[in-house]
Amino acid sequence: MTAQPSAPVSASRAPAAGARRRPVQQRSQERYERLLDACAGLLDAVGPSGLTTKEVAQRAEVPIGTLYQFFSGKDGLLAALAERNLAVFLDGLARRVDAAGRPGVAEFTDLAVEEFVAMKRTLPGFGHLDFGLVDALPSSVEDLHMLDAELDNNAAVALRLRTIGGDLFSAPGYALALRVAMECADAVLKLAFRAAPDGDPQLIAECKRLVRSYLATPPAELAG
């Protein structure tokens, strides 16, 4: 069985609160990306609770009206950044898988954890917002369906991982197994980065061991 990393995987089929419209012209694309970059930087500076669309627009040097042409508001901005983060993760994982040649399930899961950890350590804003908010906000921000209107964030990521994994995860039971693996990995990696700014190495290693062990045996043929 082989992984299939070929083409980048779309970050979302039906985003719940992402961009209002996708920019087409280069100037608009640059403004769109500057807004997302500014959002990521402000997350590190003030956290999700302190983030405002006004400050994002100011940091990006973009009129506030332009921000609202692209995004519905704070929810939409955060959802679009989560979507971009997922696209970056999937592209990075695909490159790792491609470089590894023909990884099995164990190596594939290690590569996925390593790519996530690398992004956690280096990507602006990723410590507060990876594919959803790391810490729940006491506000109206809808953070469980940032990537997909129907699937919760971890389920949406699991679906994309199954696509990249190709026939490694072709058995129907993997639809559920990858979702469970995502929930487990998410919990342990959150613990690892609470324990140490760059992630506790022992907890990261335990995350890999947990997911490898769980996915080592092909799951039962459950309806996907």
For residues 71 and 80, the answer to whether their CB atoms sit within 8 Å is yes
Specify the pLDDT at position 59: 97
**Within-domain flag for 2:** no
- Of 99-108, 134-143, 158-167, 169-178, minimum mean pLDDT range: 134-143
CATH number at 107 reads 1.10.357.10
Overall domain count for the chain = 1
Max distance between CA atoms of the chain, in angstroms, equals 54
Domain span including residue 187: 26-215
pLDDT, tens digit (0-9, with 9 covering 90-100), for 201-220:
999 999 999 999 999 888 87
Residue 137: partners with Cβ closer than 8 Å, 6 or more residues away: 48, 49, 143
Specify the pLDDT at position 11: 39
Mean residue pLDDT across the chain:
87
Residues written for the chain: 224
**Within-domain flag for 1:** no
Specify the pLDDT at position 149: 83
pLDDT, tens digit (0-9, with 9 covering 90-100), for 129-168:
999 998 766 555 667 788 888 889 999 999 999 999 999 9
- Is 0.85 surpassed by the pTM of this model? yes
**Within-domain flag for 135:** yes
pLDDT, tens digit (0-9, with 9 covering 90-100), for 10-24:
433 344 446 666 777
**SS3 state of residue 133:** strand
**Within-domain flag for 54:** yes
**Within-domain flag for 12:** no
Both ends of the chain: CA-CA distance in Å?
A: 20
**Within-domain flag for 16:** no
pLDDT, tens digit (0-9, with 9 covering 90-100), for 39-58:
999 999 999 989 999 999 99
Specify the pLDDT at position 85: 97
**Within-domain flag for 72:** yes
| C-alpha span between 93 and 148 (Å, rounded) | 20
If one compares 20 and 188, the residue with the highest pLDDT of the two is 188
Q: Could you give the C-alpha distances from 175 to 6, 38, 181, 207, in angstroms and in order?
A: 20, 35, 10, 20
For residues 69 and 20, the answer to whether their CB atoms sit within 8 Å is yes
